[in-house]
Amino acid sequence: MAIAPSGDVSKHDGAQANRDAVRAFAILGAFFFVATAAAYVYTLALAAPIPRDGSTLVVGRDFLNFWMYGRAALLPEPGRWYDVVLYQRELAGLLGADYPGQNWSYPPSIMLIAAPFGLLGYMQALLIWTLLGLAVFIAVARNHFGDMRVLAALVFSPAAVFCLISGQSSLLTAAMLIGIFAWLDRRPVAAGVLIGLLTLKPQLGLLFPVLLIASGRWRVFAAAAVTTLALAAFSAALFGPQVWIDFVLKALPTQNLVLADPQAIATPFYPTVFMNLRGIGASYTVAMAVQLGFSLAAAGAVAWVCRRRRDADPQLLAALFFACAIAAVPYLLSYDTLALTFAALGLLAAGNLDRQGRLLARLAYWLPLLQIALGSLHIPGPALIAPAFAGYILLRLKASPPRLCRV
C-alpha cells in the first residue's frame, strides 16, 4: 500500500478539519436557532397594538424605527422626529408612555425605501420585510455555497438569528456587501451602485473609499459617488432640504450621546473596541483614542492589500475587508457581523484555513453571542476577534508572492 507524503496527509487532514468545522456549525447553529426561537416565543406578550418580547420591546424591535421612517415620509416635516423628545412623544402615543427610549439614526434617504412599508400595518410590514431580507440573503449566499450544510450554518448563525429577532436590515446589507465583492471587477457600475446604497447605513461602508482609491477602481468609485449624491438630492427634493439639516443638527449629536453614555447601557450589543473599553469604565476620550488607532490600522491594511495583493484569493480579500470594517468603527452592532460570518464559513468550506485560522473562524461565527454574554458582564475581548482575524489574513497575504495580473 502506497503511503502519501506527509505534506499531502497534512493537507488532507486540514481539509477534513475544515469540513468538520462546517458540519459542527450547521448542527450547533440549528440548535442555537431552535433554542433562541423557543425562548423568544415563550416570552412574547400579546400586547396591543403590537406584541412585546421579554425585554418589553415590540416584536422586530429595530424595525419599529424603519417603519416610523416610512410613516414620516408620508407626513409634512418628516425630519421633526430626529428630535428625540418629539420622537419619544410619538412612540408614547402609539405604544404607551412606558415604552423604552429609541431614536432615529439613519440618514433621510432611508425614507425612500421605508415609505412603502409605512403604508402598511406594523405586523404586516414586519412580515414582508423579514421574508424579503431572508429571500435576498439566501439567494445571494446560494450563489457562493453549493453545500447546503454551509448555507444552513450561515442562516442559523448568531448574527443571522439576531437579525431576525431585531427586524434589522443586516440581512440585506450583508447580501449587498457580498454582491459588491462579487462584482467589483466583473460589474463595476453595479458594484458602485450597491456601495452608494450602503450609505443608508454608512458605518458599514467606511473603508470602501480606501479600497477603491488604493486599487484604482475609478469606475466603481464614480458610480458610488453618483449614487450617493443622487440619493441625497432626491430625498432633499422629495422631503425638503430641512430633513437633512435636522439629521445633521439633531440626529448625529444624539448618536454621539449613545457612545458617550456614562452608564454604558448599550455596550453589551456593540462588538467594537470603543464599546468594549467603555464597558470596563474607560473614558470617552481614551476609548476613542484607542479606537482611532484600530481604525487607522484597519484602513492601512485595506490600502496595502489593495495596492500590493489585489490579485490574491478573492475570498481572503473579502474576509480581510469585512474584518477590518468591524475593527474600524466605534458604532456597530452584533448583527452587523453577518458578512464576516459569511466570509469565515466560505474560507472553511474552501478548505482555506489552517488550525489558527479555524480557531479564529469559530470565534468570528460566535462573535455576536460572545459579545452579548461577556459584554453583559462588562468583560472585554470580543472586539479583538475581528482585528485578530484581519491580522491573520493580512499575514497570509503578505507571505504570498505578488503577481502582475489583476483580479
The torsion of the CA quartet 82, 88, 89, 92, rounded to 10 degrees, works out to 140
Alpha carbon distance 29, 19 (integer Å): 15
- Cell numbers at 80, concatenated: 421633526
Alpha carbon distance 214, 208 (integer Å): 10
Rounded mean pLDDT, 169-186? 94
Confidence of residue 227 (pLDDT cuts 50, 70, 90): very high
In terms of C-beta density within 10 A (0-12 exposed, 13-18 middle, 19 or more buried), how is residue 145 classed? buried
Q: What is the pTM of this model?
A: 0.91
Query: How many Cβ atoms sit within 10 Å of the Cβ of residue 22?
Result: 22
Residue pLDDT, tens place only, 112-143: 999 999 999 999 999 999 999 999 999 999 99
What is the DSSP track for 117-186?
HHTS-HHHHHHHHHHHHHHHHHHHHHTT---HHHHHHHHTSHHHHHHHHHT-SHHHHHHHHHHHHHHTTT
Query: How many Cβ atoms sit within 10 Å of the Cβ of residue 360?
Result: 23
Residue pLDDT, tens place only, 347-401: 999 888 999 999 999 999 999 999 999 999 989 999 999 999 999 999 999 887 6
For the chain, what is the mean pLDDT? Answer: 90
